[in-house]
Amino acid sequence: MGRLINSLDAFQQRHRAIAFPIAVWRKFSDDQAGNLAALVAYYAFLSTFPLLLVLVTVLGMVLSGNPHLQQDVLNSALSEFPVIGQQLRSNVHSLGRSGIGLVIGLVFTLIGARGVANAMQNAMNEVWEVPRRERPGFPGSWLRSFALIAIIGLGVIVTTVLSGVGSWSGHTFLGAWGKVIGIALSLLLNIGLFWLGLRVATTARVTWRQLRVGAILSAVVWQILQYIGGYVVAHTLRHASATYGTFGLVLGLLAWFHLQAQLTLYAVEADVVRARKMWPRSLFPPPLTREDREAMRSYAQVEERRPEVRVETHFHEPDEAPTAKDA
């Protein structure tokens, strides 16, 4: 059995098509990125309802004379949640035109959105193994968080515009080609938004070039999830709200955010593995590969919390007792 395991491990290390995804999976597991994704999903969930309350209220104030346009904008925003968008539409109502209600909604929205931005910053810096001494503190981290919030707002505006263009082109001579062009434009703009968001969320030691594959993969995954979600709603969950009620809404929203966050972090992990050539990794160590050792060194160096602190990593063979230097 031992020889068989070693043969399988050696085989995957020799073939890049297998070694690369295994290295991405190992990196995701080593970083405990599932926990990071859960934190992002939690704060995204907290900020969703206040954000939608503020959106509905502002639309009611700004577009009071055009209820049809209000509904179009709201529908385009809710289309980002294809699994539970219909339930959100029936559960979110305006705060009214009270200045106090609007201020309260804005405050809670800002708190929740800053939580998402902070969680995303932490996740990106953990995945890229940025030492804690190099991570931005106040006010740099706050400025990055507000920039991420602005990018999310820009994404909502872009989605609204593209939704209107797609609806208009469907009734023109473009026909089906108009929808194809709309999807292509949406994908390109999503790539740009993800690229910008990932760059803002990551400290300056990571270059734009190193983030491009993660941005492309994240945008493609997002686009696919939009259509898969719509298909599931149309064919599987049509009567889910009547069966599960509010629990279905809450669980569906949390699952949606966690899935998107997890797949986005997988895409970023692929960027890290590619940029730093962190493959092949051993599935059943020992022995450790050179890439395993480099990964372990970077994990330890993350804990450097002050400029005066330096963390060194030493390795010994399995049959050797660790020395004080190795400790």
Per-residue confidence of the chain (327 residues) as pLDDT tens digits?
878 888 888 888 888 889 999 999 999 999 999 999 999 888 888 777 667 766 666 666 666 666 666 666 666 656 555 555 555 555 555 555 556 766 776 777 777 778 888 888 899 999 998 888 888 887 888 888 888 878 877 776 666 566 555 555 555 545 566 667 777 887 888 888 889 888 888 886 788 888 888 899 988 888 887 777 656 555 555 555 555 555 666 777 777 788 888 999 999 999 999 988 888 888 887 888 888 888 888 888 888 888 888 888 888 766 554 444 444
Contacts of 15 (CB under 8 A, 6+ apart): none
Provide the pLDDT for residue 324: 45
In a domain, 315, yes or no: no
Provide the pLDDT for residue 325: 47
> Where on the phi/psi map is residue 277: left (φ > 0), alpha (ψ -120 to 50), or beta?
left
Global pTM reads 0.78
Interior CA angle at 254 toward 135 and 52, to 5°? Answer: 85
In a domain, 7, yes or no: no
In a domain, 308, yes or no: no
Q: Tell the burial category of 37 from Cβ atoms under 10 Å away from its Cβ (0-12, 13-18, 19+).
A: buried
Structural domain harbouring 35: 15-301
* Cα–Cα distance for residue pair 260/304, rounded to 1 Å: 30
Provide the pLDDT for residue 5: 85
In a domain, 324, yes or no: no
In a domain, 5, yes or no: no
In a domain, 122, yes or no: yes
Domain count, the chain: 1
AA letter at 26 = R
